[in-house]
Homo-oligomer: A and B are copies of this chain.
Amino acid sequence: MTTTSNSTRILSIQSHVAFGYVGGKAAVFPLQCLGYDVDVINTVNFSNHSAYHHRGGSKTTPAELEEIFAAMESNGLLVPGTSMRLLTGYTPNAESLETVGKLARRLREGAEESEGLIYLLDPVLGDSGRLYVSPDCISVYRSMLPLATIITPNWFEVETLTDTPLTSLPALRTALRTLHETYHVPHVVITSIPLSSWLQAALPPTLGPTSSSEHILCLTSSANPSDPSTVHALAVPTIPGYFTGVGDLFSALVLGNYKPPSSLVDSSRFSSTFDHSTPLSVAASSALCTTHLLITQTHNHSMTLPQSEREPTDDEKDAADEGRKRRRMRGRELKIVQGRGAFTWDRPEAKEVEEWRMKGWEGFW
C-alpha cells in the first residue's frame, strides 16, 4: 500500500453541529489553517452535541450520503485513483457507516496503482466502557479497518474492535497484532490509555511520567516487515474536567501532520527535528502538543467564568438542575478559534517539541 500523498485535498466525513466544536467543527478549521482544502460532508446536522440537554436537527440518510458521493464523482470532484486524504469520524448508525465504507473501498481500490490515498479512520464507538453508537457499527468498522492507513481508536475502542480486554502487556500485544495482522492496519494510534499498575510496571523508565500529576499514555504502532511493529509512547499530563471534541481535533491533526505535502511545508525540516522516529510518531507528537495547548487555553478560559458556569461534574447535581451541566459544557467548548495560532507549520519552541516527542518503546515485543 502506497502512503504518500502530495495532494493538499482532504475529504472529511463526520458530524456537524451549529454551536460548539466537535466533529467537523473541531477538525476542519485547524486543517484549513494548515493549508488543506477540506471537502466537508456532514453525517448529521445538529444544533449542538449530545451533552447539552436539548438537541435539534437531523441525520443525513444513507441515500443522501450516496447521492452526495455520486454527484461529486460524476462532476470529477472526487476521483478514485488520484492522490488525496480521507478523514472519517462519527457516523450515527451502521447503514450510514456502510455507505461511508463503500466510498472508502472505491477510493482505496482506485488508489492501489496511484500516488496513494492516506485514510485516517477514527472508529468512533464510545468511551470508558460505554457505546455512543448502535452496536451493529462494530462489525462495520471491523470490515473497514483494512482500508485505513491510520486508525485512532481510544482504549475502549481497541478493546471492542479486537475483542481483547486490555488488562496486561500480553493482552496489549495481542490487540496490536490483531489490528496489524488480522485487519491489516499499517498505523495505529491509541489515545488515552489509563496508566494502570500493570502498565506502569511494564513501561520503560524513560517513557514513564516525569511528575506525579495525573497522566495517560498515548501509543503509536507502525507495522513493519520484520518485527511486528515499531512502538512509540508518551505519558501525557491530563487536565481536569471533561472537554468534548478533543479526539476529533487530535485525529485531524494526526492526519494533517502525517507525511505533510511538500507544497505546505519543507518535509525534511519537519522530520529532521525528530530522530529515531516514525512518520506516525512525529505526526502524533505534533498533534499531542497542539491538542494540549488548546485544552490548556480552554481550561484557562473556563476558570475565568463565573462560578455557576464552572461547577465540577456531579451526576447527581446535574440531574437535579438541567442548566448546571450545559452551563459547564458551554464554558468548556474548545477554544479552536482563539487558539488558531497553534495551527501552523512553524514548530513551537524546541523545548516544547522535546517535551512532546514520543519515544521508542524498546523491547515492547
Q: Could you tell me which A residues sit within 8 Å of B by CB distance?
A: 16, 18-20, 25, 29, 32-33, 35-42, 45-48, 52-58, 60, 64, 66-72, 74-78, 323, 326-327, 330, 336-338, 340
Asked if A72 and B47 sit within 8 Å, CB to CB, the answer is: yes
Tell me, in angstroms, the Cα distance from A66 to B58 when the chains sit together.
Answer: 12
Asked if B40 and A56 sit within 8 Å, CB to CB, the answer is: no
A78 CB contacts on chain B under 8 angstroms: 19
**Closest beta carbon of chain B to A328's beta carbon, Å:** 12
A64 CB contacts on chain B under 8 angstroms: 45, 56-58
Neighbour of A47 across the interface among B29, B54, B68, B338, CB < 8 A: B68
Closest to A72 in B: B47
Asked if A75 and B48 sit within 8 Å, CB to CB, the answer is: yes
Asked if A77 and B41 sit within 8 Å, CB to CB, the answer is: no
Tell me, in angstroms, the Cα distance from A76 to B330 when the chains sit together.
Answer: 9
Tell me, in angstroms, the Cα distance from A60 to B36 when the chains sit together.
Answer: 27
Neighbour of A76 across the interface among B16, B45, B326, CB < 8 A: B326
Asked if B56 and A39 sit within 8 Å, CB to CB, the answer is: no
**Closest beta carbon of chain B to A205's beta carbon, Å:** 43
Contacts A32-B337, A74-B53 hold; do A68 and B46 have CB atoms under 8 A apart?
Answer: yes
Asked if B68 and A338 sit within 8 Å, CB to CB, the answer is: no
Contacts A75-B47, A323-B76 hold; do A56 and B29 have CB atoms under 8 A apart?
Answer: no
Looking at A18, A326, A340, the one whose CB has the most chain B CB atoms below 10 A away is A18
Tell me, in angstroms, the Cα distance from A72 to B56 when the chains sit together.
Answer: 8
Tell me, in angstroms, the Cα distance from A219 to B323 when the chains sit together.
Answer: 47
A42 CB contacts on chain B under 8 angstroms: 16, 42, 45
Tell me, in angstroms, the Cα distance from A186 to B42 when the chains sit together.
Answer: 37
Tell me, in angstroms, the Cα distance from A64 to B55 when the chains sit together.
Answer: 11
Tell me, in angstroms, the Cα distance from A337 to B55 when the chains sit together.
Answer: 31
A48 CB contacts on chain B under 8 angstroms: 71-72, 75, 77
A46 CB contacts on chain B under 8 angstroms: 68, 71
- Extra inter-chain contacts (6) besides given A54-B71, A56-B67, CB under 8 Å: A19-B72, A33-B33, A38-B337, A56-B69, A56-B70, A76-B326
Asked if B327 and A76 sit within 8 Å, CB to CB, the answer is: yes
A25 CB contacts on chain B under 8 angstroms: 40
Closest to A326 in B: B75
Closest to A13 in B: B18
Give 22 CB contacts A-B under 8 Å.
A16-B42, A18-B68, A19-B77, A19-B78, A25-B40, A32-B337, A35-B338, A37-B337, A38-B337, A42-B42, A47-B69, A47-B77, A48-B72, A52-B71, A52-B75, A53-B74, A54-B70, A56-B67, A56-B72, A57-B68, A76-B323, A77-B330
Tell me, in angstroms, the Cα distance from A75 to B36 when the chains sit together.
Answer: 33
**Closest beta carbon of chain B to A55's beta carbon, Å:** 5
Asked if A55 and B33 sit within 8 Å, CB to CB, the answer is: no
Asked if A56 and B71 sit within 8 Å, CB to CB, the answer is: yes
Tell me, in angstroms, the Cα distance from A76 to B70 when the chains sit together.
Answer: 38
Asked if B41 and A18 sit within 8 Å, CB to CB, the answer is: yes
Tell me, in angstroms, the Cα distance from A18 to B47 when the chains sit together.
Answer: 19
Neighbour of A52 across the interface among B20, B47, B57, B77, CB < 8 A: B77
